[in-house]
Structure 1
Amino acid sequence: MSGGRRQRAGRLGSILLAVGLTLHALVAAAGPPEPPAPSALAGCEEGFVAHPERSDAAMCFFREAQAPERRDEARRRLRGLIARHPERPWLQLVLGHVEMLSEPRLAEVSYRQAALAFRSQGDAEGEVLAGINLRNVLVLQGRTEEAHVWVLRVGEVARASGDAQLQVRALVLEAAELSDLGQDLGRAYRLLKRAEVLAFPGGSDGVKKQLLNPLAAVSASLGHFDEALEAYARLAELARRTRDVGTEARVRLSFAHLAYLRSEERPEPGGRPELLRLAREALAAARSADSKALEAQCLRLVAELLGDGPEERREADEHLRRCLELALETGLPERRIACLWTRAERLAGVDAAGAERDADAALALAAEHDNPRYLASAWRARSMVAFRTRPLPEALLQAERALDAVEVLRQLQKDASSQAELFSSWAQDYHRLAGRTLEAGESAALPSREALERAFAVSERLRARTLFEALVASRALAPEDAAPERREARAGVLRQLSATQRRLLEPSLSGAERTRLLGELQELERRDGELRPAPRHAEVRFASLAQTEQRLGDDEALLVFLVGADADHLGAPAGGAWVLAVTRGGTHAYRIPERARLRPAVALLSGLIERRDGSEAGAAAALYAQLLAPALRRLPPRVSRLLLVPDGPLHDLAFAALRERADGPPLMARHELALVPSASLLHHWRERAVRPPGGEALVLADPDRADAPTTVATARGGVFGETANLGALPDARREGHTLEGTLEDTAVRPRLLVGAAASEQALKASALDDVRILHFAAHAVVDEEAPERSALVLAPGAEQEDGLLQPREIAALGLGDALVVLSSCQGASGALLAGEGVLSLARAFFEAGARSVVASLWPLRDAEAAWLLERYYRHLAAGQGVSQALASAQREAWGDGQPAAAWAGLAVMGDAALVPVPAPAGEAAHALAPGSGWTWGLAALAGCVLLAAVGLWWWRRGRAKASWPPGDQETGRLQG
């Protein structure tokens, strides 16, 4: 686990604890609910008669009607007052509220009459509130088109009023319309973030509560669990302060549900009892608040978490019976669907016919309401039932139908980031299906070849989808020009964004001013997201297994990792973890350790490499045995290049450092290595025509920021908030000059920009379609919490630039099949999104049109990066391909005694076969390819030669340490 991800996990735990403590405080402060006084409703009527102009006088009836035995009297008194005061629409609105408590369908007439009366009186607040509630009632009845009319009307009235509170309510309503159907969660999130700016800090408690709940729910749907928990923590504090037991119940349920989702992502042994405790507490709170809708949700969650013992089964059956009753009473179809599929899953082991009836009923109800979100979940449940009630081949077909429903939901998202974030929450379903399909091949339930083909197809549907679709669309479709006014508006926002970031880079900025500017930056980023052109879609055709086998070179093997779990958080089989080894001669599947076991093993290896003392050898050998040994033993002898498709924690793994034996050579000594997002993307790159010789190598080295300190940095790194304190990189400047000299006599013309000339403006002004190699020797900033803020740090070069080359700018560069080399800290690192992969700077260059990217998994010391890259370019200049050249350079570094931290983190991504610099006329690409007679390969000939080689290696290692710059002799990787 990277430092950023470790930090996030700790932050998540602290937020969970904070929410729990807040809720404990709320329960202690609230105590048991006090029964209403006998004359309470009569007092409400007297209060209204005394002050009919005050809306809160009417709301008294709703507060007292929370007790079920008071509701009939509340309705009777309200109707009497409405007859005597028809000019007071607040009474009609409150009558709708009271009717919603028991009979939601009756509330439609009351809300509609109230809305029309408020409109006639020009009362914006009243019409907005009545319109919101009327829309909600219409949605419950499935009348979505009528509901949409009221969403538009509420937004129009709120904007015209100029009232920030009403605008918050309208934005929340618009977001709810999108998120309820799962249609565009990214836009819903942006709307809610805009509302957050208006609601905090000055909004009323009621408006804040109305905002925070959907903000947390949408954040969770997009996989932003820490942000969701922060929102619920704020909501819990509001509930405590206002003694709001209804909100307390909602927070408890949400807290339990988030813990449940987190356990799905990372199942832990013995985790179910804790989840069950949280769900029972939420159920008690819902009953205390007398909320039937919340009670139904809590009953379903408790039932899902109960075990299979006789007592627990009886309890679950009773909970689900009551859940269905409440769903019918409240008219909430999604509650009924969820109760049905949960009961179906519980019945699957004891009553197959009953389980299938419930699963089919849930599917039919979801289809009736035409809700893609319900359909995807219902199909998932249907497939889970099928795995226990049908023959395995039939169950696999059901699971494939479930993935089809997930992908319909995915396509409804209007921006690529929302597609990727929503999709990540379903990645476990792809792992389960692929793993169960391979198990079917093992058990002969399916022919082995068919199982391999179908599992491979599922894997391709999971991998880097938004990147693949974007690249296919950019080739297949002409750019869609936005309206001129929209382009102009976005250009203005980008100018403001750049100006704000320039201010944030000022070292003397006060804490208060920094906080204000970060808030302004967040709002500008949201506005940019809304103005950004929608992603272009084109039909994508995923690579089949047969196509992949045929298109690989004789010397290549594609290793596709599927790192799932052996069992899910409820103990059901989850498909396990596998590696598919694909060559021209065929494909084989091998089991590997599940995700929960690999994650700490990968983190351990990274930590040991960081020590720089060779102590990682044992861990590297253990991971080699678990991940690679069976597959590599069966590879044809001619295979010299491994194309690795990582998954889950393996995105952080330095494959180059793995070794067959603790005292043996590392993997890169025998194989070229490259990371590939998917087989489909590899085919996409290789289908392109080979560019003719020539072109330019553009090198930007040691950018000089005029306001930067003059300290010398020893690591190419830093965090976003400390960018202003990054120092100069003198070895990067030397690296740039060396590369210029190395490429001087090749077909690729070098152009070196250093210091102030290595600027963002100069890069954007260059003719990048002629660039064959784009090299950055600069600092990089990686922000895992906000990947869009990650950047390569350049000189600004112009007043309107900030010098931060960020993903949105990188993607617009327009590179033509270039090699991009990021000689910087963590160019391959970033937030990890299940299925989609790492949201890194390297990925952004692929979006820009790069064909291969060389980048680092961890911070590199400046001198070591320069040493390694100088040798890399020597091999490129001799005509070697991008992965062959890196393997050659890494072998030289290892042979020179440098620790794995100096060379194992640098990786080739994309098309490993790319040759950016043609070999000199009359010369063959030389040297150091696998099988070419490389000196270290002789170590395998005999034990005596091995001993001599090891001794030589240690001698060289000691000599190299003595010759390195003093700053590089320190133990451990430096963090910039």
Structure 2
Amino acid sequence: MRRTRTPSKTSFHLVAGRLSVAAWLAIAACDSGRDAVARAPLSAEQQRIDALLAAGDSLYRGAPDSAAVLWTQAQTLAERLADSSRIARALTGRAQAAKQRGEYVSARQWGEAALRLKRHLGMRHELFRSLNSLGLLAWEEDRTSDATRLLTEAATVARESGDSAGVAKARMNLGLVLQERALYDAAAEAFTEARLQFTTLADTVNLARTLNNLAALQIARGAALDATGLLREARTLASATGDSTLEVNARGQLATAYAAMGAPQRAFVLLDSANDLARRLGAAGELAENLRVQGDLYLEAGDTQHALDVYGQAAILNDSLGQPKEQFTVRRQQARALQQRGNVSAAQRMATTALNGHARHGLLYQMLEDLLLLAELAEEARDYPRADRHLAEARRVARQLDIPLAASQLALATARQMARASHWPGVLHELERTTSLFEMAGPDVRAERLAWKARAYAALGRRREAVREGKAAVATIEQVRAQYAAGELRQRYVAARARVYADLTLALLAQGLVDDAFAVADAARGRELTERLRESREALQRNGRRTTDPPLYVEREANALLARIDALVNRLRLQEDRAPRDRSAALVASTQELRDSLRVARSAYEALRSRLPLPNERHEIASTPATAFTTPQNVKPVLQRHEALVEYFATPEHLVIFAVTREAVRVATIPMPTDSLAARIGLVRELLGQRHAGQAAIPLLSALHETLVTPVQRLLPATVRQWVLVPHGLLTALPFGALYNAATQRHLVEEITLVNLPSAAFLVGVRTMPARPQPVWPSPSFSALAPFTDRLPGSRAEAEDAAAQSGGTVYLNGDASEQQLRTLVQQPGVVHVASHAVVNAHNPLFSRLELRGSATPTSSANDGRLEVHEILGLTVRSPLLFLSGCETAVGNGQGMRFEARGEFTSLANAWLMAGARNVVATLWRIDDAAAARFARHFHTARRRQSTPEALATAQRLMIRDPQQSHPYRWAAYQLSGDGR
């Protein structure tokens, strides 16, 4: 079995991967019977050997490992009889089974030994099977000339023997070699001939395999929809014949077809099932291919970390199987992931390795993809002469290919080259000239073409055309976005294409269409909390019933990963608890190995969870975008009279600020390159995170106030007292309340109250949700937990003061357990947690709140580590959670480069996702004593003020206290939620 080298990428950057040597499923023609030959009467031993050989033949398609056992037994018996002909037949079978398992060295040794015996014994009728199998093995091992020679001889032997089925098999297998070389017309001719012959012979096994390969060819040509029909027919035949090998291939093929059609969730589901079957069959080669395709899907969604993790698994398998061509394709895709992460130099090295490898094997389409990627990377490195050389070489290679998808990629690359030179008329001419090439391309390729046209029209001042093309590009992206079942991938997919939304926003503003521009800008950020609210409404209508459940094998994999993670955590705890003097070099090495294994297991679990809906979410895939864009007309009715929504949208060169009140929407556009803004925010956070930094941050806070706040103050009436902040990208890491007005010598929080939200859509969703029971003040419906008063002495006073001010209950040390918190948040009461919080920057789903756990935990529900993935599975009814821990409002650790990590990466947003109406959380590591003082101020103020006002009051009181006035002690706190 073999995957052919055909295209399947659903975006411009990924089209070549599926045309690559490792990208597509393909399967070779197999031999399902023996030639009848005249024989002398058989002895009992010979009859037993023949029975074993025949049984192996019958089992091979569905259970190759079992067949190998029977063939091995047959060989052993034949050797006792010195029966060379039966030894040869047994070796042939064992070679086929070894090839199936990816054991190519053994397969070649046994196969060649069998062929030598058959030639020596004159076993003419047995030669075809050996030649055919060895030809396919040569193809697997990238020995193209040997493959062609052996398969050609196989066809000749079959023709001389009058074996029309053998001729058809050899033709089909030669077609695979032609397909790999991107000679699609010749491959199609070979497959079509084989299909007709197998139909005539009623050979359903090989007919199914031919249909499978024709499907791969159709996808390569851009006709994925036609391929699905062929694959349905192939799978029906495979089911009837019990051909499990073909079923694995066909599922992978169908996954790639759906990905090409812009249905990534269906592709994920099919790959999960194919991988489950491949593991059960021991089909390592198929598993490696499926993992690479799965990595491509993650990369397409903008999830570079999980893409790299999965590519790493595929690379390990390919190395063990000795498949260099597949490895080169994985290297290129790894280079693309590194490119998306901004590591251009590493991406260049890896892409160059891929190009050299593909060139050695003469794989032209792969070389084209490598060259186009290297051209992009050279442009990003501003090495324009090298970029031009790579693009010129790509044109030379493309002239040798007659593939529309290759031509469309080259057209986009040419358009980018012209855009770099600001030759915008040339960009339009190139994209219009090649319109027909994009008709069979996937939605992502079409969206990129539309986006470049929109950019060109905008540069030429043709605003109406820029808006038209930009809207079409965004609509295409939204159609694919809606096909993801899981919110995290929906979010990442859009974030990876934020430039398209930014271009359209600016084009709409240039046309004076402010409401439309606001809607597009808000759609560019995460909408997962909003969609979670919508799902909650629908779950209530369904009485909480889920429409479908994940397949059992997915749940089995998830549970197995969690069990492994728990075991690794426990082992790591035991080793880390050892005193430093007892830690030998071997123990240190073992501890690091455990940490690495834990990180790998957590990443695997995150990858699985990222493509599945959250508990209680629907599993169906939407046929239209799941959430309509939010306009100012949606926002105005939910705003209070003294309130304004202030939304920031960072484009590459400008910062757009929308200010919406009940009466009007206003906008300001400020020149501000993203890199410059990022540098300022990073420096501010570095200074504010130092408790002894003094006034060093004030000049930067003042400059940012002038950039971010002063334009808003000019837009809003003086009656506005509360801002609902909707930051974007790096701005989510900025403590807006600390921004300093040099004219009044006051911080922003001294002038206004603040609420933070991920999007305007969330504000509309949360404020139109059915009201939940609220605690009446004073109320016993308040709980404060402090699980580690020995390590955090201030947390006892913090919890006791909060409970005293709120008339509630305090839980200390052993009473402040994980199970207790799980119980409390399901009640409509306020909950305050004063404890450690640990941010896991590499695996955000495993960031956690630390509580007391059971001495002998029986599950993760009582181990004292309440992690983000567990929070997402809760049903929270609390109107307010106060998370008094370190970095509970951010998704990556202090000192790291801040970026838009999404709504699933912080503890605060996890609680909102689970149903909490408001969450107070922190942007950096907080001081224990200052946290207790801040909590006392907050809960005292909350008795007479709204939650946003109480937070502002606490911050103002800290500012007025000379001992607490540094922003380090108060500016980390922010409120997210409905703000009421």
TM norm structure 1: 0.71
- Residue 481 of structure 1, aligned match among 545, 548, 552: 545
- Which whole-Å deviations, capped at 9, do the CAs of 1:124-145 have from their partners, x for residues lacking one? 9999976754431242352222
Kept after mapping to 2: 8 A contact 1:171/1:195: no
Pair 629,243 (structure 1): closer, same or farther in 2 beyond 3 Å: same
Range with greater deviation from structure 2 (493-502 or 425-434): 493-502
Where does residue 605 of structure 1 map in the other structure? 684
- Distance in 2, Cα, partners of 1:238 & 1:498: 23
- Which whole-Å deviations, capped at 9, do the CAs of 1:632-679 have from their partners, x for residues lacking one? 355433333222211111111122222123993322222212212222
Kept after mapping to 2: 8 A contact 1:155/1:167: yes
Whether 1:556 aligns to 2:637 is no
Superposed CA RMSD in Å reads 4.8
Indicate the percent of aligned positions where both proteins have the same amino acid: 22
Kept after mapping to 1: 8 A contact 2:488/2:902: no
Whether 1:595 aligns to 2:657 is no
Describe the SS at the equivalent of 1:701: strand
Whether 1:697 aligns to 2:697 is no
- Residue 839 of structure 2, aligned match among 782, 786, 789: 782
Q: How does 1:490-889 map to 2 (within 5 A)?
A: 502-506=566-570, 507-508=573-574, 511=591, 534-535=618-619, 540-548=627-635, 551-566=638-653, 576-583=654-661, 584=663, 586-591=665-670, 593-613=672-692, 614=694, 615-633=696-714, 635-661=716-742, 664-688=745-769, 694=775, 697-703=781-787, 712-713=790-791, 729-744=792-807, 750-765=808-823, 768=826, 771-796=828-853, 799-800=858-859, 801-802=861-862, 803-816=864-877, 818-830=879-891, 834=900, 836-837=902-903, 839-877=905-943, 879-889=944-954
Instruction: Give the aligned residue type for 1:774.
Output: V
Pair 125,235 (structure 1): closer, same or farther in 2 beyond 3 Å: farther
Instruction: Give the aligned residue type for 1:777.
Output: A
Kept after mapping to 1: 8 A contact 2:527/2:761: no
Whether 1:81 aligns to 2:157 is yes
Instruction: Give the aligned residue type for 2:889.
Output: A
- Distance in 1, Cα, partners of 2:478 & 2:785: 43
- Distance in 2, Cα, partners of 1:324 & 1:62: 24
Kept after mapping to 2: 8 A contact 1:738/1:870: yes
Pair 374,156 (structure 1): closer, same or farther in 2 beyond 3 Å: farther
- Distance in 2, Cα, partners of 1:526 & 1:312: 36
Whether 1:891 aligns to 2:929 is no
- The offset of 1:902, in angstroms, is 1.7
- Distance in 2, Cα, partners of 1:609 & 1:805: 28
Where does residue 17 of structure 1 map in the other structure? none
Instruction: Give the aligned residue type for 1:785.
Output: H
Describe the SS at the equivalent of 1:839: coil
Kept after mapping to 1: 8 A contact 2:501/2:521: yes
- Distance in 2, Cα, partners of 1:806 & 1:274: 33
Describe the SS at the equivalent of 2:574: coil
- Which whole-Å deviations, capped at 9, do the CAs of 1:516-549 have from their partners, x for residues lacking one? 7777766677777669553577964443235545
Q: How does 1:238-317 map to 2 (within 5 A)?
A: 246-247=325-326, 249-251=328-330, 253-263=332-342, 283=355, 285-301=357-373
Describe the SS at the equivalent of 1:860: coil
- Which whole-Å deviations, capped at 9, do the CAs of 1:491-533 have from their partners, x for residues lacking one? 9888767655554442226757777777776667777766955
Where does residue 969 of structure 1 map in the other structure? none
Kept after mapping to 2: 8 A contact 1:65/1:98: no
Count of aligned pairs between the two proteins: 809
Instruction: Give the aligned residue type for 1:462.
Output: A
- Distance in 1, Cα, partners of 2:195 & 2:603: 35
Where does residue 427 of structure 1 map in the other structure? 498
- Distance in 2, Cα, partners of 1:490 & 1:241: 26
Kept after mapping to 1: 8 A contact 2:306/2:607: no
Where does residue 450 of structure 2 map in the other structure? 379
- The offset of 1:873, in angstroms, is 0.5
Instruction: Give the aligned residue type for 2:764.
Output: H
- Distance in 1, Cα, partners of 2:214 & 2:972: 58
Instruction: Give the aligned residue type for 1:359.
Output: L
Instruction: Give the aligned residue type for 1:94.
Output: N
- Distance in 1, Cα, partners of 2:732 & 2:242: 46
- Distance in 2, Cα, partners of 1:389 & 1:542: 28
- Please list every run of 5 or more consecutive structure 1 residues that lacks an aligned counterpart in the other structure: 1-42, 441-445, 567-575, 705-710, 714-728, 745-749, 915-976
- Residue 145 of structure 1, aligned match among 216, 228, 252: 228
- Distance in 1, Cα, partners of 2:924 & 2:277: 36
Describe the SS at the equivalent of 2:686: helix
- The offset of 1:65, in angstroms, is 8.9
Pair 756,189 (structure 1): closer, same or farther in 2 beyond 3 Å: farther
Kept after mapping to 2: 8 A contact 1:555/1:639: yes
- Distance in 2, Cα, partners of 1:388 & 1:534: 42
- The offset of 1:826, in angstroms, is 1.9
Pair 201,80 (structure 1): closer, same or farther in 2 beyond 3 Å: closer
Pair 184,423 (structure 1): closer, same or farther in 2 beyond 3 Å: same
Describe the SS at the equivalent of 1:822: strand
- Which whole-Å deviations, capped at 9, do the CAs of 1:881-929 have from their partners, x for residues lacking one? 11110111111122222132221111011223x1xxxxxxxxxxxxxxx
- The offset of 1:171, in angstroms, is 6.5
Whether 1:217 aligns to 2:296 is yes
- Which whole-Å deviations, capped at 9, do the CAs of 1:566-606 have from their partners, x for residues lacking one? 2xxxxxxxxx2222333445513031522211222212111
Kept after mapping to 2: 8 A contact 1:174/1:188: no
Kept after mapping to 2: 8 A contact 1:669/1:887: yes
- Which whole-Å deviations, capped at 9, do the CAs of 1:280-320 have from their partners, x for residues lacking one? 77555543331121133245446667889998998688556
Instruction: Give the aligned residue type for 2:800.
Output: H
- Distance in 2, Cα, partners of 1:362 & 1:763: 61
Pair 228,535 (structure 1): closer, same or farther in 2 beyond 3 Å: closer
Q: How does 1:118-137 map to 2 (within 5 A)?
A: 133-137=213-217
- Distance in 2, Cα, partners of 1:842 & 1:807: 9
Instruction: Give the aligned residue type for 2:891.
Output: G
- The offset of 1:405, in angstroms, is 0.4
Where does residue 515 of structure 2 map in the other structure? 453
Instruction: Give the aligned residue type for 1:839.
Output: T
- Please list every run of 5 or more consecutive structure 2 residues that lacks an aligned counterpart in the other structure: 1-111, 120-126, 576-589, 893-897
Range with greater deviation from structure 2 (113-122 or 143-152): 113-122
Pair 187,789 (structure 1): closer, same or farther in 2 beyond 3 Å: farther
- The offset of 1:114, in angstroms, is 7.7
Where does residue 51 of structure 2 map in the other structure? none
Kept after mapping to 2: 8 A contact 1:760/1:796: yes
Where does residue 908 of structure 1 map in the other structure? 975
Describe the SS at the equivalent of 2:924: coil
- Distance in 1, Cα, partners of 2:399 & 2:365: 11
- Which whole-Å deviations, capped at 9, do the CAs of 1:780-812 have from their partners, x for residues lacking one? 333233333233333457844234334444345
Whether 1:408 aligns to 2:479 is yes
Range with greater deviation from structure 2 (334-343 or 833-842): 833-842
